[in-house]
Structure formats: C-alpha cells, structure tokens
Amino acid sequence: EYICRFKGTLTDKIDIVVEVEVPIHTLCPCSKEISAKSAHNQRGIAKVAYRASDFVWIEDIIRLIEGSSSSEVYALLKREDEKFVTEYAYDNPRFVEDVVREIADKLLKRSDITWFSIEVENFESIHKHNAYAYMEHDRRSRRS
C-alpha cells in the first residue's frame, strides 16, 4: 500500500510538496556477514517528500524507492516467487542508511527535483528498537 500526499501553500507564490510512503524490505548486511546460514530481514517504510520544478510521476518515485531497497514488498507470493524475493534480498543487503543514500543519489540525478527529504525506518525483526535514517537536500538555496 502506497500513501501519497500533496501539501500546498500560497503566499506570493505556490509551493507544493509531494509526499510518498512506500513499504520496503531490507536484509541486514551485518547479519549476512556474521551468519553462515542466513540473515535477518525486516520490513520498513521509506518516506520521500519533494518539490519539483516540473511534473513528476509519483509512480517514478515509487519505483525509485523500491529499487533502492533489498527487495520490493508483495501482498501475496507463491512459494517459488518467495524464493526469488528472499534470494534477491540476500544478494542486495541494505542498512537504512544505504537505502537513504541510494534514494538521494537517484533524486540528485533528476534536475526537476529542487528539494527533497528522505526518511527510512525499519521495523526490526530481532531487535527491540527500530533502525532510522534521514536526509534532506535543497537545491533552491544555490540559485540566485
């Protein structure tokens, strides 16, 4: 399930911020490194808010986020599909910081994104705490 929001303000100009929340799946790189048999996985949520100078498809941002995690999250999988997803995640371990950096790298390559914030939280499966990372970048301040 994806959650999208549009926030707008109007003063002397229009300011629109688009927010997208995407469920993600990550596999812990540390757990993979120290375990001979497996690694622990967790579901998480990636939240990206952005301002753009031109129209941006929300679906493009969703794909960008999903492609930055260990694997996508699926509502329903057959057993052979579950095998593919778990093996794919095993080959693409990510900390929350890695997910934030990868999303940021992809957003920075887009000239139409003028400001963004990225927030990723993993709901840890074997720890009593969640993992969290945040980043914000503003290109508008560089303009004269």
Q: How many whole angstroms from its chain centre is CA 57?
A: 16
pTM of the model: 0.89
CATH code of the domain covering residue 121: 3.10.270.10
| Residue whose C-alpha is closest to residue 118's, from 82, 69, 79 | 69
Reported as type and span, the H/E element at residue 113 is strand 113-123
Tokens of 5: 């929001």
Contacts of 125 (CB under 8 A, 6+ apart): 40, 41, 42
pLDDT in tens, the chain (144 residues): 899 999 999 988 889 999 999 999 999 898 888 988 888 889 999 999 999 999 999 999 999 999 999 998 888 889 888 888 888 898 999 999 999 999 999 999 999 999 999 999 999 777 888 899 999 999 886 654
Domain enclosing residue 123, as ranges: 3-142
Report the domain count for the chain: 1
